[in-house]
Every structure is written in structure tokens, then in C-alpha cells.
Chains A and B, each alone.
Chain A
Amino acid sequence: MLIYQDIILGIMLILLYIIGFRGLQKIIFLEPSHSIVHGLGPAFFPNLVLNLLAISAGFLIIKGIYSMIKNRGKGEKFNISINWKKLRIYYNIIYFILSIFIYKEFLVIFGFFLTTFLFLCISVTWLYFIFSNIKQTKTKINLFIFIRIIIINLSITIFIYFVFCFIAKVPLPKGIYGG
């Protein structure tokens, strides 16, 4: 997989170049006819940077192909074997990112306090169980742990609310219930 890294990165950079190039074409600037130097409009610098990016992408791909040819027959093959244990980790990462998205959406509806409290309770419990399951120490839901998590998270939420609202004077989203 390691030797394909350069090629993957190169292709991603070329995609970025295409997106950037399309963005460049949308820049509308009518250069005044009396301008002393032509071509130094708003698109000049992004164009330069994009070209540098394209050159780097080309270099990376050539480097990747070169090392692929050099390493051919040395045993490193592109084998697509799925490591189930690793896949579970990636699932968890996706859950985590999704949870941030959901938090963001709920923030507008339920306001900071309720959303944060729920987010903390759910994610702390979830992480607690996945981390302890990995370590193979058997943990069961027990009332004591549950109450502890709720109390700690409630105090953390109040603390963050206090810090942002009263010390930092940042207006937090109130939500439709005003909380």
C-alpha cells in the first residue's frame, strides 16, 4: 500500500487542480485598458499556486510509478485483504465524525445546553465501552457508572456554559426551546 501512496496523493492533487481551475474560470475581472502590466489581476496568484500544485502532482505520480517499477517482483503486491478488526476501528471513526455532524444540526434546534449534555453522555458512554471492550475487561452497564457519567457530564456542560457565556461572553446557540 505504501508505494501507492504517492500515486494516490498525486491523483488527489490533480482533482484539486481541476476544481481550482474551474473556480479560476469563474473569476470575472475586466482589466482596465490603460493598465500598465497585464495579467496581474485577481486570478494571477491562484493560477501560479495551482500550477505549482499540478507540477508537484506530476512529480509525485512519476515518482510513484518509478518506485512501483523498481519494486516490481519484490513481493509487495496490492492485495486487497480486509482486516475486520481494523475495519471496526474505521466504523467507529465514521460514527464519531457523524456524531459531530448530528451535534451541529441539533445545536440549532435544541440549543447548546441540552445538545451538549446529550452528546457528552452518549459519546463518553460509547467510548468507555469500546475502549474497555478492546482491553477485554468485561464491563457491564451498571447503575453506579451510569449515574457517575451523568453527574460528571452535567457538571462539565455547566462549566463550559459558564466559561463561554459569562467569562468569554460568547453567545451560544439557544435553540427553539431557549435553552
Chain B
Amino acid sequence: MGVNVIMWNAVINSIPEFFSHPIMLVIILGGVLWGTIFGATPGLTTTMSLALLVPLTFGYDENLAISFLIAAHSAGVYGGCLSAILINIPGTPSSIATTFDGYRMTQKNQAGLAIGYATISSAIGGIIGWFILVTFSPILAKVAVSFSNQEYVAIALFGVCILSYVSPGSTFKGLIAGIFGLLLGTVGMDLITGVPRFDFGTVELLGGISIVPLAIGLFGVSEMITQIEEDMIKHKVTQEIKEINNVLPKVKNILVHYKLIIKSSIMGIIIGAIPAAGDALSTMIAYAQGKISSKYPEKWGTGIPEGIIAPESANNAGVGGALIPMLTLGIPGDPATAVLIGGLMIHGLRPGPLLFRDNLPFISTIFISFFIAIIFTTIIGLLSARKLAMFLLIPRYFIIPVITVMCIIGAYAIRNSLYDIGIMIFFGVLGYFMKKLAIPIAPVIFGLVISPILEDNFRRALIITRGDIFTFFKRPISLSLIILAILFLFYPFIKKSFIKIYNNL
């Protein structure tokens, strides 16, 4: 029996068990609401919502905690479309492409219809992503069990290079941010020898820099500082939210675009599953692809449903895609899943292939709650988009202090330590300056998560092979990943030199 059949059996068998805890559904509903509100509010990203949610789930058992987090993650990506459609500001980076046609539809008084298209295509994309996740992750996990240290090193390196390549701004600055994250990951006790490193004489740093205060600082506090600055410079105009009605588009009108939905979803899954590539990239590619293959590309950007369907199905499918490397290899697909890994580690679970072998019920819980979250998100999106849109009207002078308080308490709650609040403030200020210097912040958190994996496997591989550095090039998977990583890293240079050669011909 194939591993994916075993997985499906396990998922189906745990459904009765799952529904025997009514609290589970309440938790998922709460997570969906939390995620949608954070996703819909510009400036509050999915990563921030997860970082603030991890301390809240600290007291629960791991099943409830992961259901809450997964629901918030999946709904957060959807929530971004509301502000993108209604006020032309993407609520999350993954909904940038939705603004192109979404806001045009709002201007044509079709806001309700636009939200309807976004909701339905998000749901279909999400379910396709979920299906691929459930079917293929056990297979990948089975392959990954036989991965040795060399492969893990190659995957980690590949992730760092990809992230620096796809981050906004220069590749080189992204790489520096990634290296900085790797350095932060070495703070604390050494995994192999137990020797303290970079603890600067403090007890608090012995356990390493905790991912939650760092994520809250980098993604929460720094964003609040930036918003104070932006609000003072730009005098943001508060746009009126137009009447939202007629939310449900006709089924026939959606089914016409089934090819586009499937194509965009698959693109979203593949890009989401590449470690560190993230869903912001997948939506742009899905939009561009949809436009190229369309019969009337000139209409894209003028407010047509296809322009919403393509990015929305891609980014929601990407959620499932990003969970594949996270669950099977323990390597995050985007910054939000990096925080998810942090949340799991608090409960003593390290995602990886062994989790599939040893804790199948837990994996089934993740899959079921993810599915229910998609359904809840769709229902909430269709029924109460109008009420959710009210959150866009909350004035900034309320949002900034309230989120700041939640950041501080969230950072405190993980270990009941004021030291973590200090770490959060430090990274908040650092994140602000990084934004000023146009350095992407996502690679830092990725580097922090990947650092122990990279170091541990790198050293073990070298110890086993008695210091043979070429061992990473002797195995086919690691060799090909390293070559790909180098290609990605030097792609801008390669492209430039090719153009030069081409022009000289």
C-alpha cells in the first residue's frame, strides 16, 4: 500500500475523533476570524498575525494550537484580498496582484462581485493545494527519511539562495540578511557539544534567540514604527468603502475559468513548495501567465474577473504548497511557515519526515483542520464580507497602540520574561532600519530557522566523511540542488553577461 493511501486512510479515520471535540471547530473559527481580520487590515501581515497568535496558543495542547495557527494562516492569505479589492491597498504581500483588477471592479461598483470571485477562487485554489499536500507530502516524507546530512545542507543552502533571489530589492542584500539570520541562529548552546556561544554572559541567551520575539519585533514593531512615519508623511486619504452587495457570482461564470484556476493553483503550489519562495511571487507569476495565455490580454487590468481568479487561486493554493517542505523536511516555505515551525517547536515538535512516521494522527489533525479552515473562510467571506470590511475603517491611531500592546504581551508570554520584550524592541528597531536601507527582512527569520538544521547537518557530514568538503558534490540530489542554488544566486549577473554577449554578436 502506498504511503499516500495510508495517509488518506489516516485522515479519514481521524475525522470522527476530530469532531468529537467541539472546541476544535470553535478554535478553527476563531483562527479564521483572526487571520481574515489581520489579513484584511493593511500593514498587518499574515506573518505578524501568526507571531502574535503563537503566544496565545501556548497554553493549549499541540492539536488545538496547530489547528488555530493553520486556520489563521490559511485565512490570512485570503483576507488580503478584501483590502486589495476595496481600497486598492494589498492587505498582505500575496494580494498585490489582486489590486490590479479587483480595485477596478470596485470602481465599477462591482465590489461585491469581485469579493465573490476572490472568495470562490480562493476556496478552489485552497482545496487543490490541500489535496496535493495530503497526497504528496507522505511520499516526499518517505523519500526524505533516506536523506542524509548532505541533502539537508543542500536544501538549506538552496532555500537561503532562493529567498535572497526572490526578496524585493537586491539579491545581494537579501543574501546578507540571510547570512545575518544564520549568525543569529548560532547564538546559544551548541547542539553537538553543548558549549555556550555568543551568550554575552547572560542566562537568557543560552537557549538561543527565541523565534517568536524576533518575528514579533521584525514583522510587528518595525511595521508599527513605519506606519507612524508613513502616516505623517503621506496624509493617507481614508477612502470610503462602497456598498457591497451581490456577493455570490454565478457558478457558471466561475466554471468557465476552470483551466485558469487549475493552472494558477498548480503554479501557486509549485512556487509555494520551493523552500522560501513564498506566495507573493506565485501570484505575480500566475497573473502574468493568465494574461499571456488569455484571449484578450488587453482587458487585463481593466477590472475583469480573470484578473482576480488567477492570483487568488494561486496564493491560496500556495498555502498548501508551503506546508509541504515545512512538514516533510522541517524547512519553511515562507516567513509565515517559519513562524509556524517556531510555534510547533514550543510544543516540543520538530517538523520533519519522522513526524509522518511517528505521529501520523497529529499530521491528520493538521490536514483536517486546514480543510475545515478553508471551508469556514469561504463561508465567512461570502456571508460577512461587508462586516469584515468595517475593520478597514478602524483609524490608525487605534490600531498602532493596540497592536503594540499585543506585540509586547506576546513577546512576554512565551517565557514570562522581560528579556524577550527587550529582544523584541531591539529587532523592531533593527527591522525599521533594515527597511530604510532596503534590506528585506524575511531572509533573517528564514536564516534563524534554518541555521540549526544547516549547522548540525554540515558538521555531521564533515565529521562522518573525515572533513571531505567534496562530499556535498558527490551525491546527485545535493549536487543538483547546489548547482541550482548557485544559478539562482548569480542569475542577475548571468543574465546581464548573456545580454552583453548577445548585443556584441
Residues of chain A having any CB pair with chain B under 8 Å: 5, 8-9, 13, 16, 20, 23-24, 27-29, 36-37, 39-46, 49-50, 52-53, 56, 59-60, 89, 92-93, 96-97, 100-101, 103-104, 107-108, 112, 116, 119-120, 123-124, 127-128, 130-131, 134-135, 152, 156, 160, 163-164, 167-173
Contact = CB atoms under 8 A, between A and B. Distances in A.
B192 interface: yes
Interface residues of B, number: 64
B425 A104 contact: yes
B172 A56 contact: yes
Contacts of B396: 127, 131
Given A13-B176, A41-B193, A100-B221, 16 more contacts: A5-B437, A28-B195, A37-B463, A39-B467, A41-B195, A46-B183, A49-B182, A50-B183, A52-B179, A120-B401, A120-B402, A123-B404, A128-B395, A160-B406, A163-B56, A168-B413
Given A49-B179, A92-B228, A134-B232, A107 B418 contact: yes
Interface of B: 55-59, 172-173, 175-176, 179-180, 182-183, 186, 190, 192-193, 195-198, 200, 221, 224-225, 228-229, 231-233, 235, 395-398, 400-402, 404-406, 408-409, 412-413, 416, 418, 421-422, 425, 428-429, 432, 437-439, 454-455, 458-459, 462-463, 466-467
Given A89-B233, A104-B418, A124-B397, A59 B197 contact: no
Contacts of A44: 459
Given A5-B437, A46-B197, A127-B396, A97 B186 contact: no
Nearest to A126: B397
Contact of B228 (A9, A96, A112, A163): A96
B463 A164 contact: no
10 contacts: A23-B197, A42-B190, A53-B180, A53-B183, A93-B432, A104-B422, A116-B405, A120-B402, A120-B405, A170-B59
Contacts of B55: 168, 170
A124 B398 contact: yes
Top 5 nearest A-B pairs by Cβ distance?
A: A169-B59, A42-B190, A127-B397, A168-B56, A123-B401
B418 A108 contact: yes
A135 B238 CA distance: 12
Given A56-B175, A124-B398, A101 B425 contact: yes
B401 A131 contact: no
A125 B182 CA distance: 41
B401 A46 contact: no
B56 A167 contact: yes
A128 B231 CA distance: 11
Nearest to B192: A42
B413 A53 contact: no
Nearest to A157: B405
Nearest to B459: A40
A59 B172 contact: yes
A131 B238 CA distance: 13
B432 to A, nearest CB: 8
A37 B428 CA distance: 41
B160 to A, nearest CB: 10
Given A97-B225, A134-B235, A160 B405 contact: yes
Nearest to B467: A37
Contacts of A116: 405, 409
Nearest to A20: B183
A168 to B, nearest CB: 4
A121 to B, nearest CB: 9
A120 B422 CA distance: 20
Interface centre among A36, A49, A120, A172 (most CB of B within 10 A): A49
A168 B59 contact: yes
A36 B233 contact: no
A163 B30 CA distance: 12
A36 B464 CA distance: 9
A5 B438 contact: yes
